[in-house]
Amino acid sequence: MRSTADEAGGPAKGAGEAAGEAAYVLPRGVPLWEIFLTFLVIGATSFGGGVVAYLRAGLVIRKRWLDEEHFMSALEISQALPGLNATNMSIIVGDRLRGVAGAVVAFLGVTLPGASLVMILGVLYASNASNPYVNATLVGVGAAAVGMLTAVTLQIGRKQFGGLIDAAIILITIAMVSFLHISLLWVLLTVGPAAVLIYRPRRDDGAAPSDPAGPRA
């Protein structure tokens, strides 16, 4: 249920090519209300983070609006660009189905349930911030969130932590943000291009860049 590009990406791509793409056609003329409703249901039920997993279940498996390969390609764009994967994905898929209007209703659908709920909680919190029971509960939630975030980071990064180059990029990024308190903009502008250059396409193979991970193994 934790879907990440790394876990889902590898096998999905191979499978998509093998299974024959001819079967998939982008649905035409899906009504806007149906797009909105589908994303609304995903937005209202995707508890616990990892909205991408719910999107995959809803869009690829239940609705068949996308096949695995198109889903992964949308995820790839969402991850490389700023913004949350969940909202970026919704916008991209909505746009594929019904253009700009589709993108807008998909975005609204996936965010409105959570936005309304968090606002209700936020207003209640503002008027009960000094209540010891509210405080104690949120202290517990905050502590648990740290555990969850750590677990999710380790799960998504399991592959990366094993490689020397990736582990170095991870540690440098953590050091810059958490300990040197360098602004995120500078981290993105320095570590990002450097990391992509390390993995730049090699001349000897056209399609896929040779993985510098190779020699270290």
Partner 1 sequence: MSENLSVLGVFSLLSVLAVGGGAAVLPETKMLVVDTHHWLTDDQFRDIYGLGQVVPGPNMLMVLVIGYHVTGYLGALLAYLGFFVPSGVISWGASRVWDHFEGSPWRRSLQLGMAPMVIGLMAAGAISIARTAIDGSLTVAIAIGAFIGVYFIKKVNPAFFVLGGGVVGLLLLSRTGAGMP
Within positions 12 to 41, which residues make up the interface with partner 1, using CB under 8 A? none
The smaller minimum CB distance to partner 1, of residues 15 and 188, is found at 188
Task: Give the amino acid at 12.
Answer: A
Q: How far is CA 81 from CA 61, 74, 76, 130, 142, in A?
A: 25, 11, 9, 39, 28
The binder of partner 1 chosen from 38, 68, 78, 105 (CB under 8 A): 78
181 is a contact residue toward partner 1 (CB under 8 A):
yes
Question: Nearer Cβ to partner 1, position 14 or 45?
Answer: 45
Of 8, 50, 65, 105, the residue at the interface with partner 1 (CB under 8 A) is: 50
Q: Is 50 left (phi over 0), alpha (psi -120 to 50) or beta?
A: left
Q: Which of residues 126-165 bind partner 1 (CB under 8 A)?
A: 126, 129, 132-133, 135-157, 160-161, 165
Contact between 3 and 50 (Cβ < 8 Å): yes
What distance in Å separates the CA atoms of residue 13 and residue 179, rounded to the nearest whole number?
Answer: 38
Least Å distance, CB 34 to partner 1, is: 19
Rounded-to-integer distance, Cα 58 and Cα 60, Å: 6
Residues between 79 and 118 with contacts to partner 1, criterion CB under 8 A: 79-88, 91-92, 95-96, 100, 103, 107, 110-111, 113-115, 117-118
